[in-house]
């Protein structure tokens, strides 16, 4: 029969215990349904599939609105299926209608914390404090709990970049964008992903002799190759403020040099910094001025 399986039947006799008190320790989903409701019958097996996949991270329950009209009315149920998520005895989110599986996954990720979340928070704090090695070790622990957690994967990339391990960072980013992962859990923080991809590209020139490169880049007439080498080394060190004017000089000197590499590298730095950065706004204006003069 539809809507049977791992979902727990709830009603007046056990709602307080299973839903209200139970949601103090882990989220509880209540599927308000009725036997005559075709969309309810379509939604139920998908919910149960996901409940099995989440392996105890939330409790799935079902409430027959025909048998429990008072409880349905108490929670404002006017159309079914209606699913409400309870945390700490209160409704924190919900939806009405039979959502497709991907939308259901998005909903669950909003209300069901990842098992890796506490470790990810600890790792992020270590990274912010300058302990990149400790952060990486903790991110790896978190990854063992949830190999597909986007925040953990991206945090791990940041730790790897801080340690200068650009090839491994690039491989981790490939995991983030792996179609086998994104089919079920699409990338949400696309802006952060773009910034990290840019930092991986920019970090590839690390370890160069900056003094020698600076001297070569300062020679006249302008040597675009020397300026590019210097700009790349500066960008690898995260010194975008000094890299951008070198790249702008390449654009002003020779747009054709290395297939307009000066402009393209500037755009990569813009991605790494993010669109709201003052440095980005300034050099977007200057780049436009050089290109349009």
**Catalytic site residues?**
37, 40
Would you state the torsion angle of the CA atoms of residues 266, 268, 270, 274, taken in this order, to the nearest 10 degrees? Answer: -170
The residues that bridge with 85 in the sheet, in sequence order, are 29, 93
Assess contact for 132 and 163: CB atoms under 8 A. yes
Alpha-carbon 247 to chain mean position: 30
Name the maximum alpha-carbon separation found in the chain. 86
Q: What are phi and psi of 6, to 5 degrees?
A: -85, -10
What lies within 8 Å, CB to CB, of 8 at 6+ separation is: 18, 59, 60, 61, 62
Reported as type and span, the H/E element at residue 33 is strand 28-33
Cα–Cα dist 13/15, whole Å: 6
């Amino acid at each position: 029969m539809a809507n049977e399986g791992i979902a727990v039947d709830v009603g007046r006799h056990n709602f307080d215990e299973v839903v209200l008190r139970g949601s103090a320790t882990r989220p509880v989903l209540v599927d308000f349904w009725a036997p005559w409701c075709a969309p309810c019958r379509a939604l139920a097996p998908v919910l149960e599939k996901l409940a099995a996949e989440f392996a105890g991270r939330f409790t799935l329950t079902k409430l027959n609105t025909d048998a429990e009209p008072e409880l349905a009315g108490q929670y404002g149920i006017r159309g079914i299926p209606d699913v409400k998520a309870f945390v700490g005895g209160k409704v924190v989110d919900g939806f009405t209608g039979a959502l497709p599986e991907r939308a259901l996954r998005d909903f669950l990720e909003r209300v069901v914390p990842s098992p890796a979340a506490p470790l990810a928070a600890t790792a992020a704090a270590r990274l912010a404090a300058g302990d990149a090695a400790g952060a990486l070790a903790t991110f790896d622990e978190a990854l063992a709990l949830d190999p597909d957690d986007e925040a953990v994967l991206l945090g791990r990339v940041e730790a790897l970049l801080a340690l200068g391990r650009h090839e491994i960072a690039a491989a981790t980013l490939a995991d983030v964008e792996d179609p086998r992962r994104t089919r079920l859990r699409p990338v949400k923080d696309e802006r952060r992903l773009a910034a990290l991809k840019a930092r991986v590209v920019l970090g590839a020139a690390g370890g160069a002799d900056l003094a020698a490169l600076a001297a070569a880049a300062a020679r006249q007439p302008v040597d675009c190759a020397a300026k590019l080498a210097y700009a790349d080394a500066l960008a690898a060190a995260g010194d975008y403020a000094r890299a951008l004017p070198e790249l702008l000089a390449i654009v002003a000197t020779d747009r054709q040099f290395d297939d307009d590499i000066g402009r393209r590298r500037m755009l990569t730095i813009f991605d790494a910094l993010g669109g709201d950065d003052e440095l980005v706004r300034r050099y977007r204006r200057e780049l436009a001025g050089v290109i349009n003069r």
